[in-house]
Amino acid sequence: MSFEILGISSYVPKKVLTNYDLERIVDTSDQWITERTGIKERRIADENETTSDLAAKAALKLFEEISFNPSKIDAIVFATATPDNLIASTACSFQAKIGARKAFAFDISAACPGFLYGLKIADGLLRSDDIEYVLLAGAETLSRYVDWLDRTTCVLFGDGAGVALLKRSTSFNKRILSWNLGADGNLRDLLIMPAGGIAMPFSKNALDKRLCYIKMKGREVFKNAVLKMQNSVEDVIRKAKIKSSEIDWFVPHQANIRIIEALRERLGLPKDKVYVNINKYGNTSAASIPIALREMLDRKLVKKGQLVLMTSFGAGFTWGSILIRW
């Protein structure tokens, strides 16, 4: 039992914030941001646009493209670190906006690898004979969680969404050839939004101390990201009993071009097999991989039967890699 990928779609907000725009907000420069991260611009949601809105725009576009009736969807798995509300789930707002009346719907909070965690969960759901369609979403409105006074973080992130519509299939054995998902909660303070949850509810004090925004120890995150993704990818390659030269496409989470390059070199992959679009969107967390996949499909880069290896790392820490046959 496995699944077919009926379609992948993405949406990014219209508003573009360039590095030059950022030079007017914090003490930074296009040169610093480009050299240290590879980012040139990112998208920013409108004031009244929420995470579920971004995902709904991606999903409705897909339903139209493939003439799909959303009332057929059995389950919605929604990966986000930037939910519309803490209660109720973003998945439920999304379910209502796309008219997926029959679907049960829930959020998963796994930060940047959320789409990969979600893919593994969706694969499990689709092994049950009474679940035929699963809609997986990865969407973020990180612009609301970044501290626009903190140049060490605000230049990195962007908003966006991606969805994948999956259908149970018996036509071939395995879509996911191998996987590796991991977490290390001991390192969670290295990348965290301290206030806003039960541990430290929103308060004037939290706001004054700017604890309602993302805090990150960039260098430690960088080092862990490279190491954890390298180990995770190597594990997946080993389990699939393939050589890294057999991988057709490597689709890494788009967080920093230097992280991607370090990983590519350690894994010995050629540049032309690694998909990179960080220059246009910055780090869109759980949305980054489906946005990349949709671009690759639009450009007709990925072909049926090819081996596609995705990897990601993020707050928690969480990480993961999944190898699929397209």
Is the Cβ of residue 196 or residue 218 nearer to ligand ACO in the bound state? Answer: 218
User: Under a CB-based contact definition with an 8 Å cutoff, are residues 29 and 315 in contact?
Assistant: no
Tell the smallest beta-carbon distance from residue 32 to ligand ACO (Å).
Answer: 4
Tell the smallest beta-carbon distance from residue 204 to ligand ACO (Å).
Answer: 28
Label residue 310 exposed, middle or buried (CB < 10 Å: 0-12, 13-18, 19+). buried
Is the Cβ of residue 37 or residue 80 nearer to ligand ACO in the bound state? Answer: 37
Is the Cβ of residue 151 or residue 325 nearer to ligand ACO in the bound state? Answer: 151
Label residue 28 exposed, middle or buried (CB < 10 Å: 0-12, 13-18, 19+). middle
| Site of interaction with ligand ACO (CB under 6 A) | 28, 32-33, 36-37, 112, 151-152, 155-156, 191, 216, 218-219, 221-222, 225, 253, 255-256, 259, 283, 313-314
Tell the smallest beta-carbon distance from residue 165 to ligand ACO (Å).
Answer: 25
Tell the smallest beta-carbon distance from residue 276 to ligand ACO (Å).
Answer: 14
Is the Cβ of residue 222 or residue 275 nearer to ligand ACO in the bound state? Answer: 222
Give the N- to C-terminal CA distance of the chain in Å, as an integer.
15
Is the Cβ of residue 107 or residue 140 nearer to ligand ACO in the bound state? Answer: 140
Residue in 297, 218, 290 with CA at minimum distance from that of residue 253: 290
User: Which residues are tagged catalytic?
Assistant: 112, 253, 283
Tell the smallest beta-carbon distance from residue 1 to ligand ACO (Å).
Answer: 32
User: Under a CB-based contact definition with an 8 Å cutoff, are residues 325 and 125 in contact?
Assistant: no
Q: Residue with CB nearest ligand ACO?
A: 218
